[in-house]
Amino acid sequence: MEGASNHKVERVRGLRKWVLLAHPWSFPASVSPAVVAGSYAYCLYRTGGVDTLNWVHGILAVIGVVFFHAAGNILGDYHDFLNGVDLKEKSDRVRPIAKGYFTPKSALLYGCSMLLTGILLGLYLMMRTGLPLLFIGLVGVLSATLYYKFKYVALGDLMIFICYGLAIALGTVYVMTGQLVWAVLPVSAPLGLLIVAILHANNTRDIEQDRSAG
């Protein structure tokens, strides 16, 4: 019985490290624009602005957004570790790779699996809706895979605003209604600015460590 109990503790600890690397506490930043967009689509439907409303597509969009966000977090940590930005001894932040919970290779595979899952969900929704989702989804792919490059040249805020403030909302309304409703952008843009402000707070916290890493 004791052995089974110890095994259970080890399994929970093992699961916890996978959860930590995905940074789930940051998911509200990506889910919020999708929820706001879903509410906007519902209002359009109720007022006769659109003829159809697909809640299943909306839920799948939220799930896909979470997978893309998790992929971005994991791949961001991976590249920060490779570039010497994440160092175990220089910060009290949660850094599973720097602390040795993951090898860089396993973290990369984990991030790519999250990204692939998000892409597959996106492709399914595209087949059910239309080609415009492909171009919206490309913004998510770029954000998840190349954000670290943008932030190293001070363009990370712009990328985050485009993805979280515009693309998520536009894509969510599109998969729910089958229409590109550009009017949702002024509704979601303030939320994107709020998310950028949160990013600024995180960057301010890390400014000394990032400076020392070059």
Evaluate if residue 115 carries a pLDDT over 90. Answer: yes
Kindly indicate whether the domain formed by 33-212 is annotated with CATH number 1.10.287. Answer: no
CB count within 10 Å of CB 47 equals 8
Q: What is the pLDDT of residues 8-35, one digit of tens each?
A: 434 446 788 899 999 999 999 999 999 9
> What mean pLDDT, rounded, does the chain reach?
88
Neighbour-count burial of 38, counting CB atoms closer than 10 A to its CB (0-12 exposed, 13-18 middle, 19+ buried): buried
Evaluate if residue 67 carries a pLDDT over 60. Answer: yes
CB count within 10 Å of CB 139 equals 19
Contact 172, 53 (CB under 8 A): no
- Closest Cα partner for 86 from 107, 70, 60, 113? 107
In three-state secondary structure terms, 107 is helix
Return the domain boundaries, the chain.
33-212
Q: What is the pLDDT of residues 132-184, one digit of tens each?
A: 999 999 999 999 999 988 988 888 899 999 999 999 999 999 999 999 999 99
- Closest Cα partner for 180 from 134, 132, 138, 123? 132
- Closest Cα partner for 40 from 192, 166, 185? 185
